[in-house]
Amino acid sequence: MSTHSIFDIAGPIMVGPSSSHTAGACKIGQYARALFHKTPKKVTFYLHGSFGEVYKGHATDRALLAGVMKFRTSDTRIKTSFDIAKEKGIAYKFIKKDLGAKCHPNTVKMVLESGKEKMTITGSSIGGGMIEIVKLNNFEISLKGVAGKYLSLVVSHDDNPEIIVKLGKKLKALGLKIANIESTSYKKKTLSVLSIEGKRITIPEAKEMETIEGVDFVRALTKIDN
Amino acid sequence: MKYSFKTAEQLLKLCKKHNLPISLIAKRYEAERCDKPIATVRRKMKQARDAMYEAVRKGIKSDEKTETKMTGGDAKNLFKQLNNLRNMMGNKVTVRAMAYATAVGEQNANMGRIVAFPTAGGAGVIPGTLFSCAEHFHAGKRKLLRGMFTSAAIGLIIAEGATLSAAKGGCQAEVGAAVSMAAAGLTEMRNGTPEQCVHAAAMALKSYLGLVCDPLGGLVEVPCIKRNALGCMVAIGASDMAIAEVESYIPFDEVVGAMKEIAEIMSPKLRETALGGLAVTKTGIEIKRKLGLI
């Protein structure tokens, strides 16, 4: 959306000290958690550019970890997220790394692991607490963390257009409409980001969609708020 | 869109056409923009107000120093002076405003909860100015909300015409913008006309043009917190001038245009990179070394 909201100016309500390095970082963590769909046992953060340079002073590390634990950007527990993660038995590591000149200066690559499951997510904090997820596993994507009318559904599936048709039917049955689809393919697999108009999708509904043949996972990014 | 505006000129036209103050135009703009009832918009602003109030309340009691030991405890020092005003040159309103603004700044630096209004770096000016003045004229919470909506409307014009990011425009875009916004909000709370609000905003912003962002070690502590505190004085002053019918010779939109131009010629060293200004003074270098940045 091109026009600003009054609450872009009067907000967000957040834990300091920096909107891009703290609030934005927390939001990237939240997205990673939502895409992974469970609390990981182990997370490794690769911090690029300005994130790598000044992450300690701005508590970027604590905010990222807090986001992975589903804390909101306004949650004062961000300050103690290291201790909380230890209590929850989440192993974490922060590594400074150059991810390439193409990346935004405030970028982090996260590797989330839980048993055999593993997911790599790269996100950038693009200013004022706004973020963008630019890569999921091997797929280049663009998921923007801007509140709006559209909800996103991230679907990983085999290279077969019929799957999307089937998915569309299921969504229609739920009273939802697909506004836009963006797909990226990599080695016979496709990752589609569906923008959906209508109500929120519940977790059981997303799970139900995962039963379609050829679909690896369905993630509904609807609950993310601040 | 019926209530859409991007410049002060458009905003004032809307005020005139509907015979409404800036705050109500801002409220209707938001309701129309996100297709929600006015009550929802009001409720959201109330949440921001309550969060700011919490930050102030915690901050004026706190002795906590930040991890760098550069800041902390000054809000308490200032607030104490309210019992000893004979010692102060400023009056109760200005000293309290500075205490509140410092409180929010210190909370932010200490990872407390604040409202980025308009940004985390300039978050102290609006609660400082508006809360202290509201206490002075016993304004109800409703009036405070009006001040906040007007401030947000001015911030929106700055965001549209220039920027609110210090990485793009230096401190003029964060504390400078906040002071300008607070001046307008305060003027509306004092029943100033929409024109007077915009004049106050213009006069305040003019005094901040060119201010660079040069924080020690790149952290939002020094000089940010004190700039927030002193910004309240300018906001109150600009509002007083507008109420006294002093007008800005240069229209607000042109001031915003100038700010944008200055932002474009400002060296990146002076835009939140800690590579120039105060950040590279002897003390600044020491802090950088302590943080392991050099």
Percent of chain A with pLDDT over 90: 38
Any idea which of A66-80, A201-215, B270-284 has the lowest mean pLDDT? A201-215
Q: What is the DSSP string of A69-113?
A: TT--TT-GGGGGHHHHHHHHT-EEEEEE----TTS-SEEEEEEEE
C-alpha distance from B164 to closest chain A C-alpha (Å): 9
The yes-or-no verdict on residue A127 having pLDDT over 80 is: no
Q: Does B33 touch chain A (CB under 8 A)?
A: yes
Tell me what the mean pLDDT of segment B225-252 comes to.
Answer: 98
Structure tokens at A12: 């967000």
Contact state of A15 with B47 under an 8 Å Cβ cutoff: no
Give the pLDDT confidence of B116-142 residue by residue, as tens digits.
Answer: 999 999 999 999 999 999 999 999 889
Measured distance CA(B251)–CA(B259) in Å, rounded: 13
Q: What's the confidence (pLDDT) of residue B13? A: 97
User: Which of B27, B109, B15, B24 lies closest to B62, judged by CA?
Assistant: B109
In the stretch 41-60 of chain B, residues with CB closer than 8 A to chain A read 41, 44-45, 47-48, 51
This model of the complex carries an ipTM of: 0.92
Contact state of A19 with B114 under an 8 Å Cβ cutoff: no
Q: What's the confidence (pLDDT) of residue A152? A: 78
Tell me what the mean pLDDT of segment A54-74 comes to.
Answer: 91
**Each residue of B53-79: b (16+ CB within 10 Å) or e?**
bbbbebbbebebebebebbbebbbebb
The yes-or-no verdict on residue A223 having pLDDT over 60 is: no
Amino acid in position B2? K
Q: What's the confidence (pLDDT) of residue B238? A: 98
Q: Rg (Cα) of chain A, in Å, rounded?
A: 17
Measured distance CA(B29)–CA(B1) in Å, rounded: 8
- Nearest residue of A to residue B33 by CA position? A5
**Each residue of A187-222: b (16+ CB within 10 Å) or e?**
eebbbbbbbbeeeebeeeebeebeebeebebbbbbb
Q: What's the confidence (pLDDT) of residue A149? A: 47
In the stretch 3-32 of chain B, residues with CB closer than 8 A to chain A read 4, 6, 26-27, 29-30
Tell me what the mean pLDDT of segment B179-188 comes to.
Answer: 98
Q: Does A25 touch chain B (CB under 8 A)?
A: no
Within chain A, where are the H helices? 6-9, 24-36, 49-54, 60-68, 81-88, 161-173, 203-209
Q: What's the confidence (pLDDT) of residue A145? A: 61
The yes-or-no verdict on residue A5 having pLDDT over 90 is: no
Cα angle A193-A196-A199, degrees, rounded to a multiple of 5 = 140
Q: What's the confidence (pLDDT) of residue A1? A: 41
- Most B-contacting residue of A6, A7, A125 (CB-CB within 10 A), to test interface: A6
Tell me what the mean pLDDT of segment A35-62 comes to.
Answer: 90
Give the pLDDT confidence of B241-255 residue by residue, as tens digits.
Answer: 999 999 999 999 999
Q: Does A161 touch chain B (CB under 8 A)?
A: no
For residue A23, list chain B residues with Cβ-Cβ distance below 8 A: 116, 120
Number of A:B CB contacts under 8 A? 127
Q: How many beta carbons lie within 10 A of that of residue A93, not counting itself?
A: 11
Tell me what the mean pLDDT of segment B276-287 comes to.
Answer: 96
Where is pLDDT greater, at A131 or B154? B154
The yes-or-no verdict on residue B108 having pLDDT over 60 is: yes
Classify residue A101 as exposed, middle or buried by CB count within 10 Å of its CB (0-12, 13-18, 19+): exposed
Q: What's the confidence (pLDDT) of residue A225? A: 52
CB B207 within 8 A of CB B278: no
Tell me what the mean pLDDT of segment A149-160 comes to.
Answer: 79
Q: Does B156 touch chain A (CB under 8 A)?
A: yes
Structure tokens at B252: 């607000």
Q: What's the confidence (pLDDT) of residue A222? A: 61
Q: What's the confidence (pLDDT) of residue A174? A: 86
3-state secondary structure of B269: helix
In the stretch 235-274 of chain B, residues with CB closer than 8 A to chain A read none
What is the set of domains in chain A, with CATH numbers?
A: 11-144 (3.30.1330.90), 151-221 (3.30.70.260)
Average pLDDT, chain B: 95
Quickly state the pLDDT bin for A186 (edges 50, 70, 90).
Answer: confident
Tell me what the mean pLDDT of segment B89-100 comes to.
Answer: 97
Contact state of A16 with B114 under an 8 Å Cβ cutoff: yes
For residue A57, list chain B residues with Cβ-Cβ distance below 8 A: 68, 217-219, 291
What is the arrangement of strands in the sheet containing A42-48, beginning at the earlier edge strand? A91-96, A42-48, A106-114, A117-127, A130-136, A139-144
Nearest to B111 among A8, A12, A59 (CB): A59
Tell me what the mean pLDDT of segment B89-116 comes to.
Answer: 96
Where is pLDDT greater, at A109 or A105? A109
Q: What's the confidence (pLDDT) of residue A19? A: 85
The yes-or-no verdict on residue A151 having pLDDT over 80 is: no
C-alpha distance from B69 to closest chain A C-alpha (Å): 12
Tell me what the mean pLDDT of segment A23-41 comes to.
Answer: 91
The yes-or-no verdict on residue B184 having pLDDT over 90 is: yes
In the stretch 77-116 of chain A, residues with CB closer than 8 A to chain B read 78-79
Tell me what the mean pLDDT of segment A10-28 comes to.
Answer: 90
Any idea which of A143-157, B21-35, B167-181 has the lowest mean pLDDT? A143-157
Cα end-to-end span (Å), chain A: 17
Classify residue B19 as exposed, middle or buried by CB count within 10 Å of its CB (0-12, 13-18, 19+): exposed
3-state secondary structure of A28: helix
For residue B112, list chain A residues with Cβ-Cβ distance below 8 A: 15-16, 76
Q: What's the confidence (pLDDT) of residue A137? A: 92
